Amino acid sequence: MLQITDQATIAENVRALKGRRRVSDAEIAEGTGLSRSAVNDRLNNRAKFQLDDLRAFATFFEVTLEQLLEPTPTAATGT
């Protein structure tokens, strides 16, 4: 299984997508097949993203896995 080392970057990228798309945790949960609490735990760094989670989030937001994994200027600067 893929070892994800920078969970904070992934969570930041997903939170940025969530904000830009104006979707709720409940909508993400429904679209990814995760529970609302599981989505919230991942976005708040209380649980680790697994490869299956990343695929589900990428599909839901219509982005590539790389877009979820790579640090972005927004994630790095917090702007």
Q: 3-state secondary structure string, the chain?
A: CCCCCCHHHHHHHHHHHHHHHCCCHHHHHHHHCCCHHHHHHHHCCCCCCCHHHHHHHHHHHCCCHHHHHCCCHHHHHCC
CA distance 79 to 77: 5
On whether residue 77 sits in a domain, the answer given is no
Q: Between residues 28 and 70, which one has the greater pLDDT?
A: 28
Q: Quick check: is 59 in a domain?
A: yes
The domain that holds 27 is classified in CATH as: 1.10.260.40
- The two tokens of residue 41 are 């735990």
Q: Report, as an integer, the average pLDDT of 3-11.
A: 78
Given a cut of 60, whether residue 3 has pLDDT beyond it is no
pLDDT in tens, 31-67: 999 999 999 999 999 999 999 999 999 999 999 998 9
Our count of domains for the chain comes to 1
Reported as a pLDDT band with limits 50, 70 and 90, residue 75 is very low
Instruction: Tell whether the model's pLDDT for residue 2 goes beyond 70.
Output: no
